[in-house]
Amino acid sequence: MTLPGGEIDPDREFQGQIFARHKIADESWNPWRIPGFIHRDTGIFLGAMGVASVQVAKFNGGQTAVIKHNCDILFTFVMEGSITLKGHGQEPHELKPGDAFVILPEMQIHYSNCSCDLELLEVALPGEFEAVIIDE
């Protein structure tokens, strides 16, 4: 693909942001903030200078926990597998590939009945936020 700027310069800034390329084969899985999950970072956090983050998380087995966060926007898309999402005071929702949800700040949620092939794509604005485990 021919780039509009002509030359390739991975360190070039675009209004304070840099190019991010996520190549799955080069990425590694690390523990995630939610017990029972691992994740890989896509590089968007560094590329966007912290304005946003995009991560892929997958279920790694074990017990999950009730959690809450203080993120302005926390959007999640189910890429593979299935999951039950339960918000505090709400009925559980069974989710499958193609489903998406947004978790409001400070809302207690629980991911359960996670299939072994579950993969989630999470977009957060801002890219850095606090998440608290309520119980395990």
Q: Where are the domains of the chain?
A: 28-128
H/E stretch holding 73 reads: strand 73-80
Say whether pLDDT at 74 is over 90: yes
Specify the pTM.
0.81
Say whether pLDDT at 25 is over 80: no
CATH of 28-128, one of 2.60.120.10, 3.40.50.720, 3.20.20.70, 2.70.170.10: 2.60.120.10
The 10s digit of each residue's pLDDT in 46-64 is 777 778 899 999 999 998 9
90: pLDDT confidence band, cut at 50, 70 and 90? very high
pLDDT for res 50: 75
Residue 58: which residues within 8 A CB-CB, separation 6 or more?
A: 29, 37, 38, 39, 80, 117, 118, 119, 120
Using DSSP's 3-state secondary structure scheme, residue 75 falls into strand
CB 134 within 8 A of CB 66: yes
